[in-house]
Amino acid sequence: MIKGFLFDLDGVIVETAIFHYQAWRRMANELGFDISEEFNEKLKGISRTESLEIILMHGGVELSEEKKVELATKKNEWYLELVSQMTEKDILEGIPEFFEQIKQTDIKIGLGSVSKNAKMILERVGLIDQFDIIIDGTKITKGKPDPEVFLKGAEELRFRTNECLVFEDAVAGIQAAKNAGMKAVGIGKPEILTQADVVYPNLEGVKIEEILNTI
């Protein structure tokens, strides 16, 4: 029986991927190359340091560890400037109604995000109080597709892994759920999220009962 829902943040609750992309693109441009929106797909659910490595490899740029720390810090400052404009209008379609539905059940709500900025973003958009537990980038050492983020989520909720259901928009995130032994609801396109147990474009109009009967 499913007792807990573990939500990814970026791409499921709020659309911060565009701000990550803009900040990484600015950094790449300063280094003399560009990154496409298609390339940005590969960075979804991937930690800041791992994303930087992937981008530098893509641009064929080799840098010292010191310079990498400097660039990751700069990118985060640009990202924070962009997200500081966010309001509750940036919450993705269907989320407030879906959370209302959850409140009518005994299901607990957890966050499973790789982002170190997750709490700040949830506060900005006024959703932080909806969560029973929060696992973010400050609590984990391995990014998705490693299952750590979701295993810690189950542990903090005090549920077994198979009692938790993950909501994810990233291929790496669905893999992390599977690696944790959990079923996963994909948010996005079925042709991309092939490992998800069920896929919806977003949670608008989706009934909890319908999900639980499908997976």
Residues 6+ apart with CB under 8 A from 70: none
Query: What are the CA-CA distances from residue 48 to residues 53, 54, 98, 116, 188 (Å)?
Result: 9, 10, 29, 9, 22
CB of 3 or CB of 116, closer to ligand B16: 116
CB of 8 or CB of 197, closer to ligand B16: 8
What is the C-alpha radius of gyration for the chain, rounded to an integer number of angstroms? 17
The site partner of 40 among Mg ion, ligand B16, none (C-beta below 5 to 8 Å per kind) is none
CB of 46 to ligand B16, least distance (A): 6
Please tell me the number of Cα atoms within 13 Å of 37 on its side-chain side.
3
Contact 44, 17 (CB under 8 A): yes
Residues 6+ apart with CB under 8 A from 139: 152
Amino acid at 32: G
CB of 154 to ligand B16, least distance (A): 16
**Where on the chain is the footprint of ligand B16 (CB under 6 A)?**
8-11, 20, 43-48, 51, 76, 113-117, 137, 170
CB of 169 to Mg ion, least distance (A): 5
CB of 45 or CB of 147, closer to ligand B16: 45
CB of 10 or CB of 148, closer to Mg ion: 10
Helices 17-31, 65-83: axis angle to 10 degrees equals 140
What is the CA 61 to chain-centroid distance, rounded? 27
E strand or H helix at 5: strand 4-7
Q: Where are the beta strands (DSSP E) in 113-162?
A: 133-135
The site partner of 46 among ligand B16, Mg ion, none (C-beta below 5 to 8 Å per kind) is ligand B16
**Where on the chain is the footprint of Mg ion (CB under 5 A)?**
8, 10-11, 45, 169-170
Active site residues: 8, 10
